[in-house]
Amino acid sequence: VDPTIDLVSEINRLKKEKNAVILAHYYQESEIQDIADYIGDSLGLSQQAAKTDADVIVFAGVHFMAETAKILSPTKKVLLPDLKAGCSLSDSCPPHLFAKFKEQYPDHLVITYVNCTAELKALSDIVCTSSNAVQIVESLPLDQKIIFGPDRNLGAYVKKKTGRDLVLWNGACMVHEIFSQDKIDALQDAYPEAKFIAHPECEDHILAKADYIGSTSGMLKFTIEDSSQTYIVATESGILHQMQKASPTKTFIPAPPNNLCACNDCPHMKLNTLEKLYNCLYYEQPEINLAADVILRAQKPIERMLEISA
Ligand code: 13P
Ligand code: SF4
């Protein structure tokens, strides 16, 4: 990219010229969030992808999110600034192994967390996100047997909240399993007034200490509506940008990770940059393409989720 060009104004120009929309997840770099047309959690982003009248969707997020947008808007061009922006949680559940796992429970309904491949969604009955997982399980009859995958932590949380006996796939997110309980305890001692808020992809012993548990949007909303001045935030640190913007006088402290990690950044989410965003809008590459039969099979469980959470 020519170093003299103003990326922000060029992205805005190209967006108009191509009738494109930029959807960004809260874990993106601040400068990407600031140029997005919509910023949200996984549920909000899929609702936007389903209803947009843009011709091109630029998904500033990771691969499974862009795939979900393509499944919901198959006639649109869906672009992802860096095709290598994957997800450790999605990688922890290869579809061929999940298909074998599923065979062991033929009378079970399959609920999959949206953080998985399109092929995995195609093997599912209902998709869910962190903001509607409890609601979706509760919408099913009490005697309904359920497999839940791929996140064991969200699964354990849903089990606890609903009292249902879910069969769990043993997957996890690399970002949400790094938090250090000892360091969080020390931080809480230093800031006794602070509220501790956590994403349900965190481990059970971390969630046990939380004053609020929810999706990224849920956590943001909580910090806006709650009257405390200080928050310790256990999720990817990108969300702090919107929290700080919405409540400039409050203090937000990222929950400390263990000694093996320097920060709470998701290495996949952070692969996207403003420059890559500009290039992908300019060249209309890399594009997400999926086989027609996968789109068809994956559409049903996502639409079922959108109906339940409408
Ligand atoms: P939500 O934004 O839906 O809470 O998802 C969090 C996440 O890990 C996305 O990768
Ligand atoms: Fe995947 Fe975790 Fe990164 Fe979200 S934060 S994209 S779940 S690795």
Interval 238-275: pLDDT, tens: 999 999 999 999 999 999 999 988 899 999 999 999 99
Residue type, 100: K
Could you tell which of 87, 129, 272 is best to mutate to test the pocket of ligand 2, judged by most ligand atoms within 8 Å of the CB? Answer: 87
> Given pLDDT bands bounded at 50, 70 and 90, which one contains residue 54?
very high
| C-beta of residue 277 within 8 angstroms of C-beta of residue 35 | yes
Known binding residue 233? Answer is: no
Residues 159 and 301 in one domain: yes
**Is residue 219 included in any domain, yes or no?**
yes
Residues 151 and 12 in one domain: no
Atom 3 in ligand 2: residue holding the nearest Cα: 266
- pLDDT reported for residue 1: 79
Cis peptide before 150 (omega within 30 of 0): yes
Known binding residue 12? Answer is: no
Ligand 2 centroid distance, CA of 266 (Å): 6
Q: What is the mean pLDDT of the segment spanning 75-85?
A: 98
Known binding residue 93? Answer is: no
- pLDDT reported for residue 310: 83
Residues 160 and 214 in one domain: no
d(CA 1, CA 195): 43
Structural domain count, the chain: 3
Q: What is the mean pLDDT of the segment spanning 70-97?
A: 97
**Is residue 1 included in any domain, yes or no?**
no
Nearest-atom index, ligand 1, CA of 115: 10
Residues 114 and 152 in one domain: yes
- pLDDT surpassing 90 at residue 45: yes
d(CA 234, CA 222): 14
Residues 158 and 13 in one domain: no
DSSP, collapsed to helix, strand or coil, labels residue 93 as: coil
Ligand 2 pocket, 116 CB below 6 A?
no
What domain range is 80 assigned to?
A: 7-86+269-289
Ligand 2 centroid distance, CA of 279 (Å): 24
Ligand 1 pocket, 41 CB below 6 A?
yes
Residues 70 and 122 in one domain: no
- pLDDT reported for residue 38: 98
pLDDT digits (tens, 9 = 90+) for 5-19: 999 999 999 999 999
User: What pTM, to 2 d.p., does this model score?
Assistant: 0.96
Range scoring the smallest mean pLDDT among 1-15, 74-88, 135-149, 202-216: 1-15
Residue 156: which CATH number? Answer: 3.40.50.10800
Residues 207 and 65 in one domain: no
Residues 100 and 36 in one domain: no
pLDDT digits (tens, 9 = 90+) for 175-213: 999 999 999 999 999 999 999 999 999 999 999 999 999
Known binding residue 263? Answer is: no
Kindly report the average pLDDT of the chain as a whole number.
97
Residues 68 and 212 in one domain: no
Percent of the chain clearing pLDDT 90 (strictly above): 97
Ligand 2 centroid distance, CA of 222 (Å): 21
Q: Which ligand is nearest to the CA of 86?
A: 2
**Is residue 264 included in any domain, yes or no?**
no
- pLDDT reported for residue 3: 83
- pLDDT reported for residue 84: 98
- pLDDT reported for residue 201: 98
pLDDT digits (tens, 9 = 90+) for 103-134: 999 999 999 999 999 999 999 999 999 999 99
pLDDT digits (tens, 9 = 90+) for 158-171: 999 999 999 999 99
**Is residue 260 included in any domain, yes or no?**
no
Long-range contacts made by residues 239-246, C-beta under 8 angstroms, separation at least 24? 239/26, 239/27, 241/26, 241/30, 241/33, 242/26, 242/33, 242/39, 243/219, 246/220
d(CA 308, CA 310): 6
